Amino acid sequence: SSDDVNRMFALLSQKEELYKLHSNLTEIASGDLLKVLSELDTEEQGIDSPVELISYLIKEAENNDYTEEDALILMLNYLEKEDLTEIIKLLIGTSSGELLNLLLNLDTEQNNIRYLDDLYKYLIEQASFNDFTEEDVIRLFLNLLKIVEQEPIVQEIITPTQIEEKEKGGKGWIFLLFGGLALILLIFLFVRRKESDKEDETV
């Protein structure tokens, strides 16, 4: 049936992107993350998709000399600069006040912002010097996730034709597939760390 064919295409697509992501992450990784990626046999570990690969790297953090956040940052750094430009446009559309002004006047090169993680950290740092809070930054990124989740590509089964079309436009669609998951985990880790710091202060 057509459903079976679509399901088969979806599985093949995920496998293809898994191998590509595994290879590209290995090229930019270092330290224990590089070691884990270099020694990883995805079939042996039952890893069938990009999301499962990121989940595996996060899980392996406890057995190696890197953190869960390091694994997420590695994936986020895989995104190309063109994607960052588009993401900033989305953030501008959902922000207001000083946060909006900061984004409108942001010079990514001057501030050495190359990746999404750089942008997130920069905005968090700027909260100390401007009339917005770290919580405002977190809410801004959560709003971004809502926009991402509404993109049709998240809801559709990806066919080889769609993959070919998306590849022409860069890797932005990879962000739509699982970057949202990584972002929400990154924010979760940040909030959890802040709560832990507050508990330490009260002890």
Give me the pLDDT at residue 19, please. 86
- Do 102 and 138 meet the contact criterion of CB atoms below 8 Å apart? no
- Judgement on whether residues 67 and 128 belong to the same structural domain of the protein: no
Per the listing, tokens 């595996």 go with 56
Q: The pTM is what?
A: 0.50
- The residue from 30, 54, 76 where one domain ends is 76
Structural domain of residue 46, as residue ranges?
A: 2-76
**Per-residue pLDDT in tens (0 to 9) along the chain, 203 residues:** 555 545 544 555 567 778 888 998 899 899 999 999 999 999 999 998 777 888 899 889 999 999 887 887 787 777 655 567 878 888 888 899 999 999 999 999 999 998 777 888 899 999 999 999 988 988 887 777 665 545 443 333 233 333 344 444 444 444 444 455 555 555 555 555 555 665 666 65
CA distances from 96 to 51, 100, 101, 125, 147 (A): 32, 5, 8, 18, 16
At 124, which helix (H) or strand (E)? Answer: helix 116-126
Q: Are residues 174 and 89 in the same domain?
A: yes
